[in-house]
Amino acid sequence: FTMSSALPILILTTVFVLALLLFLLSNPFNQGSHPSSLSTTLRVVPFTNVTHISRTFKEPVLLRGIPDLHLDSWKHLDDFHFTNTKHSSHEIFTLGTGDERHPKLSEIWYEDRKGLESFFHGKEDEFRYFAGEYTKHIDHEEQFKEHNSNRVKELEDSSAGFYKMLWVGEKAVSAQLHLDEPRNIFVQIQGTKTFYFLPPEEWPQVFNYPHISLHKRQSQVDMSHLTTGASDPTFEHFWKYVWPKRREVTLRAGDALYLPPYHYHFVVADSFCVSLSFLNPGLEEVQVAKAWRIPLPFETFPMGHERILLVRLFLWMVAEKISPRAPDVLLRLIYKARFEPHYSVYANLQTLGSAFTCFSQKDWMNPQAYGYLLKYVDEVAQVFLDPTVNISTAVREFKFADYAETVLKETVGERNVATFFKQCYG
């Protein structure tokens, strides 16, 4: 073995190392101080402002170049609302612990002031999670607000408006698989957090809780099975066919994510985490809310044959207009996705007696009833189909399911919604 024989090997090795370094330096996914956080199937795009981002991207993307938010003072307790925020009274949110012995936390949504103080004083075992509205103005905040939209006035007038949320949690705490309706730019301030995504098109197989439930927006699938490894025969289809389709990304301090409305996500803290969300109401949310404000004629009919006939026909007719699925298929799908897995929980607790029957197609599809309802059907359908908003089919179907539940709650009673779906559509 001589120096001359080793020279070619040395040259090849040098060339290889230089080429590798050049690739790593030029690789567009290797940006920032935490390149491993960008090891994902998500696109990586430069941040400009939320209006441009929300108009351009309809699926989750990683954002590069978020301005420095100067959030070193996030522990100042006076910067938060702690009592009954506009979000807290509407739902209960399920959290996981990552501990197979006690896989779930108490089903709490927003903690009080003591909850956040416990993190500052090292009492994480008592309160393991906090979420609260962050009210202090921060640097560059305007870049995260929706502007220059043809719906900007409606966004400003909506019940939600623009707001910021701070999330603080221990290692292994997870947020149940769920969807959100606002547009969310999620910034990781401290620690490491992993997101798992499923697209809106999977709504029939994610098994949302009913809209009338305090767990609305969340999946009924018990995600603690990922920790315990136990079988889940109720949702075997989900684990076998839906969960394998997930996409995922791990965020580290300084990373940011744009999460469009209605994308399901399951979130796990890989360490002690602090995160901040900038939330703008989605155009879909603001638009579809108009359907809830359209007055319907059913209260003028006493409970009985005629009211049930009209309600059943009305929802059928709206379904026929807003979805490419056959109406019976969509309405049956809503029942199977939301009520069937735990039907006994939602089963008829307040019977309507002989009035609560579903009639033959010949009986309830009569021309007189059809003509009477057509005006209301067209008005509601136009809300869902407004071309200026361009709501996707999946979101239209999901929000129609919410709307159908609301109509039934108001016309046959909350305790009879599941029974109506099962007997009339299931």
Quote the strand ranges of 163-321, DSSP E.
163-169, 174-178, 183-190, 193-198, 247-251, 256-259, 264-269, 273-280
What value does the mean pLDDT take over residues 198-225? 93
Q: 360 and 309 in contact (C-beta within 8 Å)?
A: no
The 10s digit of each residue's pLDDT in 359-393 is 555 555 566 777 889 999 999 999 999 999 989 99
pLDDT the model gives residue 205: 96
| pLDDT at residue 84, as a whole number | 34
Q: What is the pLDDT of residue 211?
A: 94
Least confident of 19-33, 280-294, 410-424: 19-33
Q: Average of pLDDT values for 297-310?
A: 85
Q: Using the predicted structure, report yes or no on whether residue 177 has a pLDDT greater than 70.
A: yes
Contact 107, 119 (CB under 8 A): no
pLDDT-derived band of residue 41, with 50, 70 and 90 as boundaries?
Answer: confident
pLDDT confidence of residue 30: 32
Residue 127 burial (C-beta neighbours within 10 Å; 0-12, 13-18, 19+): buried
Residue 154 has pLDDT above 80, yes or no: no
288: left (phi over 0), alpha (psi -120 to 50) or beta: alpha
Read off the tokens for 267.
């979130």
- Please determine, for residue 265, whether its predicted confidence score (pLDDT) is greater than 80: yes
Distance CA 95, CA 87 (A): 17
Whether residue 409 has pLDDT greater than 70: yes
- For residue 251, which phi and psi values (nearest 5 degrees)? -100, 140
CB 191 within 8 A of CB 67: no
Angle formed at CA 152 by CA 151 and CA 154, multiple of 5 degrees: 65
Give the CA distances from residue 239 to residues 221, 258, 413, in Å, rounded to whole numbers and listed in that order.
9, 26, 34
For the stretch 228-263, pLDDT in tens is 788 889 999 999 999 999 999 999 998 999 999 999
Tell me: pLDDT of 401 over 90.
yes
Cβ(346)–Cβ(418) below 8 Å? yes
Provide mean pLDDT across the span 87-112.
58
Predicted confidence band at 137 (pLDDT cuts at 50, 70, 90)?
Answer: confident
More confident residue, 375 or 146: 375
Predicted structure pTM score:
0.81
99-120 exposure pattern, b = at least 16 Cβ within 10 A, e = fewer:
eeeebbbeebbbbeeebbbbbe
10 Å CB burial of residue 300 (0-12, 13-18, 19+) is exposed
At residue 281, does pLDDT exceed 70?
A: yes
Question: Cα separation of 78 and 240, whole Å?
Answer: 47
Question: What string of DSSP letters covers 134-196?
Answer: B-S--TTGGGGS--S-TTHHHHHHSSS-SEEEEEEE-TT-EEEEE--SSEEEEEEEES-EEEE
Q: How confident is the model at residue 27 (pLDDT cuts 50, 70, 90)?
A: very low
DSSP state of 360: -
Residue 30 φ/ψ, nearest 5 degrees: -105, 65
What pLDDT shows up at residue 204? 96
- In Å, what is the CA distance from 403 to each residue of 89, 237, 258, 324? 20, 26, 27, 18
